[in-house]
Structures are given as structure tokens and as C-alpha cells.
Amino acid sequence: MIYTVTLNPALDCFLRPEEFVPGGVCRYDNALFLPGGKGVNVSLLLESLGVDTVASGVAAGFTGRELMALLEERGCPVDFTELSNGRTRVNIKILPEGQPETALNGGGPEVTAEDLRPLERRLSELSVGDFLVLAGSVPGSLPKDIYARLMRAAPKGVKTVVDASGPALREALSERPFLIKPNLEELGEVFGVKLAGAEDAVSYGKRLQELGARNVAVTLGGGGALLLTEDGRVLERAALPGKEVSSVGAGDSFVAGFLYGYIRERDIGRAFDWAVCAGAATAFSQGIADGEQVKKLFREHFLIEN
């Protein structure tokens, strides 16, 4: 089972007015509401791929209840801790025809370490062989080492994936996560440098391994991806050909694809192949891809005929 944690989820609201005029009255027909957040996205794709998963984290107010309801409507089990105060943030995406997108991203509720005690208890009940995914930004009210604390709450033998940036990622390294997945910019942020490309990614990815990460995947956008394995290999995959629609959620899908491939084939190289296909499938889609899109790309690019 794969248990994902999103500490700062969102209810994403997509609006498509015929025209967007700042300061004017703009009309639209229907608003589209979707569950958002990095761990949420991982669980959504895993569910579509047929993997046993639970989406968890913190939710608050009527927006939090709607977030959970939308996940359940899509067949994704939820286990969120509900806060007594505040509301889960709402991100507004304004998408007028022929005009640039405008995004208004909201702030989430205040979350304290005490609020996460129920989550820590549930993590302690995970089983050896389960996976724990800690993904996304950390509310400013929480300590920087909160991901490391949550990792310590899980039993030994639970493999952890951390998809975060900055101090939250760096603090988690001491707990030896099974996989971390920074993009090139996030990798540079850990060390306070600007990285130029694949050569830099390999160099600094190895430094992350020295700090505790077992396997390091670095996504390079149009430059493909790299995987530094705990047995010392550096694997490279080119970006798959196709028309990019949106990069939003592609990194989250990469994580989901990796876990699906690893569970399916128990081979880290093949897991990497699945990850690349999942990231590309979402990049070629409006929203998170479904499992069939991922499998189609895998058949086209990585299936080995016997």
C-alpha cells in the first residue's frame, strides 16, 4: 500500500471566461473544481493505475470537505486529519480563450505540530513493505524538519519517498529516504547554487546521497531525467516526444509512475522507465493523466518484445 501525505493541499478552481478584463465584469459558464496538491496527485494516478493507495494530510473547513469528497468521487480513499479552524486553500486558475493564464494561489490554514499527532499515530500503523510519500510544500507554521519527524513515526521497513524542496527536503535526508525527486532548480536550492544541466545534476545528486538519500531522481524538463541509484549507477532517460499541454503535476506523476513500476517489476531501472512515461503522460494532458495513457506510452517506448 502507498500512503501519501499532503500537508498543504488545495481545492483548484478552473474558470474559462470568454474574455478576462482586469477591473471589469467577466462572465463564465461553469467552474471546474479539482483536488490539488502533490501527494494528492500521486494518489490519483496510482488509483488510476490500480495500486492500493490512501491520500492523507490535513484538511479544514468546507473547502477541505469538498477536496475529500472529490477524491472519493474518483475512487481514491482518503484519511485526512480535519482541523477545527481555517479552510483548505483555494487556487483560482483563470483560463480565457486566447489569453495567458492567470493564477491566484491561496494560503492554507495554520497547522501546528500538535495537529499532526493523529497523522503520526496512523503512520505508526503502516506495515513493513508499505510506501510513504511525503510531497509538497510545508505550511510556514510547522517546523522545517516535519518530514523527518513523520518519517520517524513510520515503522522501519516502510520505504519513504520525499518530493519537496528547500529545508524540508534537506532535513529529511538524515532519515535515509528511499527516493527523493527534486527538479534541477530544487536541487540547486538545497545547496544555494544555480545548476546548468545534467552534469551539475549528477554532481549535486551524489552530494544528496552522501547526506542520506538512497536513490535520487532529477527531472530536467525538456532535458529528460536522471536517476542516481544506491548501487552507484547513473541512469539517463531522454524526454519522450509529444506535445506538452501543461507541466503542472508532471513531477507528481513521475513519482507515481516510479512506484507503480517498482512494485510491478521490482527493478529500479524499469521503475525509472515507468516514471518517465507517467510524467510525460501528464505533460501531454490537461490535468493528471490516467493509467491507460501511461501504459500506452510505456508500450510505445519501453516494452521489450520477447
Q: Can 231 be counted among the known catalytic residues?
A: no
Closest CA to 2 of 279, 262, 273, 290: 262
CA distance linking residue 31 with residue 15, whole number of Å: 5
Q: Give the largest Cα separation in the chain, rounded.
A: 62
Sign of the CA dihedral running 254, 256, 262, 264? negative
Q: End-to-end distance of the chain based on CA atoms, in angstroms?
A: 30
Single out the catalytic residue among 130, 163, 252, 273: 252
Torsion of CA 139, 140, 141, 144, to 10 degrees: 90
3-state secondary structure of 56: strand
CA distance linking residue 277 with residue 270, whole number of Å: 11
C-alpha cell at 67: 477536496
The residues annotated as belonging to the active site are 252
